[in-house]
């Protein structure tokens, strides 16, 4: 069901219920200049916040657009029901003590009472609309009225308060809190907020993602409109990995799946609130950045060195200027200034506005964007006037080249808020803190997955069973995946009778063990079964011809995910897979180009392409195997987990020499 959240988010009338918390809502609305109706409702008090109170909801002139419920949880359920019945536009449920403390039945009653009327919370501060001055929020906040700006959604009300207190000049249009998100979730609130054309970008603080398909649709629509989405994803622990049967479960934890999902649907991921704010600053001013080739300019060798060190492992690129650029820059700066990128332009041109603008524009024109390291003196103790020409030159270079130009302060406190606001209003995004700025700029260049990409829906999991190696390989062979020639039997004697068609050397394996190597269930380079002792715990045996011409070993694992539908993990395989932990996880569906790019991101990717004269592995065979496994899982919902470890890649082709499958029980 798609609810209409427009009255809740852009109200013309606000009802407030409660005492002290409700009084705060009235005060915040008045302070922000809300020009709609504010109606306190209280059965006993004659006034709230200096405004005459109505005795009951039924006494209101008309159904309110939104109501703030600063009342206890039991009373909240009845009031929500009454508001829904009278045709109100929505409610903020402030009280705590619901599902977060185990009161699931109480929260379910609240949702039933709300019916089709949207509610935020419970256990939630509510909503701030800085565009229209509607503050359905019971506490202080640090924002200001704006004509346009970013929307911020947080599952945590305290995190939301902290974001409003930022002094980096970021114009915030909306703040929305979810709390327990009993009814309205992140994707639904996001879709409603970004429908307002005054919203320039979307920032999210999430501990969980309630509807990945819907959120991916929002992100795709935002990108199509030239607007960016960025998230801090908290709580990314890999629960339960130690008890998992496969290596994939241990290596592809919640964090890997979350990051893969965000990357594939075009949501930039950052780790801190400062990075979130600065990425939003970039998005607000320029939208998602189109390229990663950057120049850096500073008047200090120390600053240039800091930039060079911090960008050593960044996705941002800092190539040297072209010969023509270098010639023109040298003419402007003189023979004593080495031309490089990052560029220390020294102080020979300090105070010369014309030459500074020429240097900045000449450097910037050869790149996708540029950073200009400038730390203005603090205005309370110093006079920053002599630094203004550098900021003016940055702005002039942006105008002259049409390229994004970012003034960056090495320390976050070195940009005064008033100065930051004035720059942003002129289309220049100052970034505070060098490391944070570079992280934000890298995030803002995040590339999306295929257009229209959406994750698979989640399939509920029931009881499952593990198919160990022989049975798993039989299913892989039916799917067109190459496996070694082999035979299986319940005993070594039976195996010896069936082995006549095979050629040594052999791999002898115990059946019925998840991690055979650790349990002593694998013997390699076997030339004869004569004299072989039984293996502890074996429920049968498998004898296979060994692959002796492999050049690389990969792990390829697919598994259903309880949040993101299903994942594919690729990495360096074999018995050291978990020790190396060199893997990349993708969320299904994927295509050949996505798998190829994932293999290229492995730390040890050079081993696949012919390191130091070794023959290259058949990467196409690995990609083909992964796509066949994806097709197998897509067509049969019973598959819960499929792992090949290792897939031995030859110069031509690949062989799945060990496999494990987990399926739903029939």
User: What count of other Cβ atoms lies within 10 Å of the Cβ of residue 367?
Assistant: 23
Contact 191, 222 (CB under 8 A): no
Helices (H), 450-523: 469-478, 492-498
- Quote the tokens at residue 398: 């942006």
- The per-residue pLDDT for range 425-474, each reduced to its tens digit, is 999 999 999 999 999 999 999 777 788 899 999 998 889 999 988 899 99
What average pLDDT does range 252-271 have in this prediction?
87
pLDDT at 518: 75
The percent of residues above 70 in pLDDT, for the chain, comes to 96
Four-CA torsion 176, 177, 178, 180, nearest 10 degrees: -170
Question: What pLDDT digit, counting tens, does each position of 358-387 carry?
Answer: 999 999 999 999 999 999 999 999 998 989
Structure tokens given for 606: 């050079």
pLDDT band (50, 70, 90) for residue 246: very low
> pLDDT tens digits for 59-83?
999 999 999 999 999 999 999 999 9
Residue 293: how many CA atoms within 13 Å on its side-chain side? 11
Q: Are 613 and 284 in contact (CB under 8 A)?
A: no
Q: Which residues of 14-45 are buried (b: 16+ CB within 10 A; e: fewer)?
A: bbbbbeebbbbbbebbeebebebebbbbbeee
Please state which of the ranges 88-92, 258-262, 462-466, 610-614 shows the lowest mean pLDDT: 610-614
- What number of other Cβ atoms are within 10 A of residue 492's Cβ? 18
Q: Predicted confidence band at 250 (pLDDT cuts at 50, 70, 90)?
A: very low
Please check the confidence at residue 618 and state whether its pLDDT lies above 90: yes
Return the structure tokens found at 43: 């059965």
Q: Which contiguous run of DSSP H or E holds residue 472?
A: helix 469-478
Confidence (pLDDT) at 577: 65
Strand order in the sheet with 119-120: 37-41, 13-18, 66-70, 91-93, 119-120
Average pLDDT, the chain: 92
Polymer length in residues for the chain = 666
Extract the tokens encoding 188: 């639904």
Average pLDDT (89-103) is 95
Q: Which of 37-46, 519-528, 642-651 comes out lowest in average pLDDT?
A: 519-528
Rounded CA gap, 171 and 198, in Å? Answer: 11
Using one digit for the tens of pLDDT, what is the confidence trace for 290-343? 999 999 999 999 999 999 999 887 889 999 999 999 999 999 999 999 999 999
d(CA 365, CA 398): 9
pLDDT in tens, 562-588: 999 999 999 988 766 666 778 999 999
| Residue entry with tokens 């992964």 | 626
pLDDT at 576: 65
Close Cβ partners of 412 (under 8 Å, ≥ 6 residues apart): 168, 274, 432, 433, 436
Asked if 348 contacts 330 with a C-beta cutoff of 8 angstroms, the reply is: no
Tell me whether strands 486-489 and 541-545 are parallel, antiparallel or unpaired. Answer: antiparallel
Query: What is d(CA 322, CA 443) in angstroms, rounded to the nearest whole number?
Result: 26
pLDDT of residue 497: 85
CA distance 472 to 455: 26
Tens-place pLDDT, residues 164-173? 999 999 999 9
Q: What does the alpha-carbon distance between residue 521 and residue 492 come to, in Å, rounded to a whole number?
A: 13
Sequential DSSP letters for 120-134: E-SS---EEETTTTE
Lookup: tokens for 189: 């609130």
Give per-residue burial for 51-73: e unless 16+ CB within 10 Å, then b.
eebbeebeebeebbbbbbbbbeb
* Whole-number pLDDT of residue 248: 44
Residue 499 confidence (pLDDT): 85
Q: How far apart are CA 191 and CA 185, in angstroms?
A: 10
**Per-residue model confidence (pLDDT) at position 329:** 96
Peptide bond between residue 33 and the one before it cis (omega within 30 degrees of 0): no
pLDDT in tens, 211-235: 999 999 999 999 999 999 999 998 7
- Check if the beta carbon of residue 66 is closer than 8 Å to that of residue 55: no
Please say if the pLDDT value at position 241 is more than 70: no
When pLDDT is averaged across residues 521-543 and rounded to a whole number, the result is 89
Q: What is the pLDDT of residue 236?
A: 65
Is the pLDDT score of 261 beyond 80? yes
């Amino acid at each position: 069901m798609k609810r209409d959240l427009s009255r809740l988010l852009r109200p013309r009338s606000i009802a407030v219920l409660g005492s002290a918390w409700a009084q705060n809502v009235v005060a915040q609305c008045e302070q922000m200049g809300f020009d709609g109706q504010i109606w306190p409702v209280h059965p006993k008090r004659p006034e709230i916040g200096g405004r005459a109170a109505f005795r009951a909801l039924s006494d209101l002139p008309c159904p309110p657009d939104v109501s703030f419920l600063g009342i206890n949880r039991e009373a909240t359920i009845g009031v929500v029901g009454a508001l829904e019945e009278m045709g109100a536009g929505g409610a903020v449920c402030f009280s705590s003590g619901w599902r977060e403390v185990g009161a699931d039945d109480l929260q379910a009653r609240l949702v039933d009472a709300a019916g089709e009327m949207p509610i935020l919370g419970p256990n939630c501060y509510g909503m701030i609309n800085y565009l229209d001055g509607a503050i359905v929020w019971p506490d202080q906040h640090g924002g200001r009225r704006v004509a346009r700006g970013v929307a911020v959604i947080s599952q945590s009300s305290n995190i939301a308060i902290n974001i409003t207190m930022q002094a980096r000049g970021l114009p915030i249009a909306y703040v929305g809190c979810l709390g327990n998100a009993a009814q309205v979730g992140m994707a639904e609130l996001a879709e409603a907020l970004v429908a307002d054309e005054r919203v320039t970008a979307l920032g999210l603080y999430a501990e969980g993602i309630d509807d990945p398909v819907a959120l991916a649709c929002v992100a795709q629509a935002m990108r199509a409109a030239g607007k960016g989405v960025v998230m801090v994803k908290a709580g990314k622990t890999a629960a339960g990995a130690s008890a998992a049967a496969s290596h994939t479960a241990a290596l592809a934890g919640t964090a890997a799946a979350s990051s893969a999902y965000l990357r594939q649907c075009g949501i930039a991921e950052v780790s801190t609130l400062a990075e979130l704010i600065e990425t939003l600053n970039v998005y607000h001013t320029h939208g998602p950045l189109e390229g990663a080739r950057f120049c850096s300019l500073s008047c200090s060798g120390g600053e240039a060195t800091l930039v060079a060190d911090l960008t050593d492992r960044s996705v941002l690129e800092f190539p040297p200027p072209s010969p023509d650029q270098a010639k023109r820059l040298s003419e402007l700066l003189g023979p004593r200034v080495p031309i490089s990128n990052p560029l220390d332009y020294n102080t020979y041109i300090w105070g010369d506005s014309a030459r500074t603008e020429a240097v900045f524009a000449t450097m910037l024109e050869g790149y996708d964007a540029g950073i200009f390291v400038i730390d203005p003196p603090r205005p309370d103790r110093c006079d920053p006037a002599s630094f203004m020409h550098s900021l003016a030159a940055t702005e002039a270079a942006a105008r002259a080249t049409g390229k994004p130009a970012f003034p960056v302060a090495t320390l976050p406190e070195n940009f005064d808020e008033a100065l930051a606001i004035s720059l942003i209003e002129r289309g220049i995004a100052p970034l505070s803190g060098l490391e944070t700025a570079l992280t934000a700029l890298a995030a803002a260049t995040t590339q999306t997955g295929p257009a229209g990409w959406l994750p698979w829906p989640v399939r509920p999991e029931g009881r499952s069973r593990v198919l160990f190696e022989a049975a798993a390989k039989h299913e892989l062979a039916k799917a067109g995946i190459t496996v070694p020639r082999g035979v299986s039997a319940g005993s070594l004697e039976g195996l010896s009778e069936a082995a006549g068609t095979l050629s040594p050397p052999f791999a002898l394996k115990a059946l019925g063990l998840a991690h055979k190597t650790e349990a002593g269930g694998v013997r390699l380079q076997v030339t004869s079964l004569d004299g072989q002792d039984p293996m502890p715990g074996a429920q049968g045996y498998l004898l296979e011809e060994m692959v002796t011409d492999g050049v690389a070993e990969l792990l390829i694992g697919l598994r259903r995910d309880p949040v993101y539908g299903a994942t594919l993990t690729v990495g360096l395989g074999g018995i050291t897979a978990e020790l190396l932990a060199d893997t990349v996880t993708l969320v299904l569906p994927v295509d050949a180009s996505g798998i190829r790019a994932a293999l290229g991101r492995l730390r040890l990717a050079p081993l696949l392409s012919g390191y130091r004269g070794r023959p290259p592995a058949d990467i196409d065979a690995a990609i083909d195997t992964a796509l066949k496994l994806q097709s197998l899982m897509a067509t049969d919902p019973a598959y819960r987990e499929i792992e090949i470890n290792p897939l031995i890649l030859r110069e031509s082709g690949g062989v799945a020499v060990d496999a494990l499958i987990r399926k739903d029980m029939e």
